Structure 1
Amino acid sequence: MTSLRTPTEAVSVGHPTYSQTLPCEPSTAEIGRELVRGVLGVWHLDDLADQAALVVTELIANAARHTSCVEIHVVLGRPSATRVRVGVVDEEPSRLPELGCAGESDESGRGLFLIEAVADGWGCEIRGTERCPWGKEVWAELRTEGAE
């Protein structure tokens, strides 16, 4: 059996991508943060670690709270030299993310607002085909240091 805490292996050239399948539960957020920090370290982007850790925490929390999925896929990518994408893929394409309307005393409902505040952009992409969607990826992009 493979441990969920295996060392992260990531490539630092080209437009690398790293993903890992994890249980869809709130406690997975700790593993997600470790994974993000490890990959960003390999890519020499430690300055993005806190923002990316916040993003992955909120994305995992949303998947655990709003879907009935057993597993999720945490995905980290470098779509360009100036951007890092952090995403979570689940298997419920009909449950699309939306900004909440949390009240002042509410203890939840602000995750996407937090992501919007620290990321350069976020969104959702349906996986599969139009006729047969099997899931979605909710993602956020962060701009790397020195990007214009």
Structure 2
Amino acid sequence: MTLARPITHATGLPAYTETFPALPESVRKARRLVALALSAWGLEHLADDAALVTSELATNAVQHARVANFRVTVVRLAPGRVRVAVIDTRKDTVPEPHQAGPDAEHGRGLAVVTALSHTTGRDPLNWGKRIWADIEDQAV
């Protein structure tokens, strides 16, 4: 993976972003991108929650969107608060939470994202969708 460079998000806030091929190994690379951003911003204490959120959102893009690529963006919204977003080009596949049975091997991802996040959401785009989660320092 090339070293990601910080950018200024359209909102004017600092951000890191990268496009990955929709392959299982890209989920690990997406986590590394988010960890790099958190480290640059001195927010390493959010890394574990951010890694799980990134894994779940990126895995959904890989397994369910069935697209060639997905984009991960992490934006520093405020001191102690970041937004992790996964963007893909499929408008018609939107992740929906559901109840996983006690023995189910899948189906808990969005519940994990919700539990670890301050806020979650999705934004329809003209060419796809953005699924995001805000992770916040509890002391803020």
Q: Normalized against structure 2, the TM-score is what?
A: 0.91
Partner of 1:135: 128
Partner of 2:6: 10
Whichever residue aligns with residue 25 of structure 1, its letter is L
Q: Which sits farther off after the overlay, 107-116 or 18-27? A: 18-27
* Shift in Å, 1:24: 1.1
Whichever residue aligns with residue 140 of structure 1, its letter is A
* Shift in Å, 1:101: 2.1
Point out the structure with max Rg over C-alpha: 1
* Shift in Å, 1:78: 1.7
* Shift in Å, 1:145: 5.4
Contact 2:65 2:90 in 1 (8 A): yes
Asked if 1:146 corresponds to 2:139, the answer is yes
Aligned partner of 2:106 among 105, 108, 126: 108
- Paired with 1:103 and 1:40, the residues of 2 have a C-alpha distance of 34
Q: Normalized against structure 1, the TM-score is what?
A: 0.86
* Shift in Å, 1:81: 3.1
The structure-2 alpha-carbon separation of the partners of 1:96 and 1:19, relative to structure 1 and needing over 3 Å to count, comes to same
Partner of 1:131: none
- Moved beyond 4 Å, runs of 4+: none
Q: Helix, strand or coil for the counterpart of 1:44?
A: coil
Q: CA RMSD in A?
A: 1.6
Partner of 1:52: 50
Contact 1:85 1:140 in 2 (8 A): yes
- Paired with 1:43 and 1:77, the residues of 2 have a C-alpha distance of 10
- Paired with 2:6 and 2:43, the residues of 1 have a C-alpha distance of 13
Deviation track 1:99-137 (CA, whole Å, cap 9, x = no partner) reads: 022111110110000011111111110112xxxxx1101
Count, aligned residues: 137
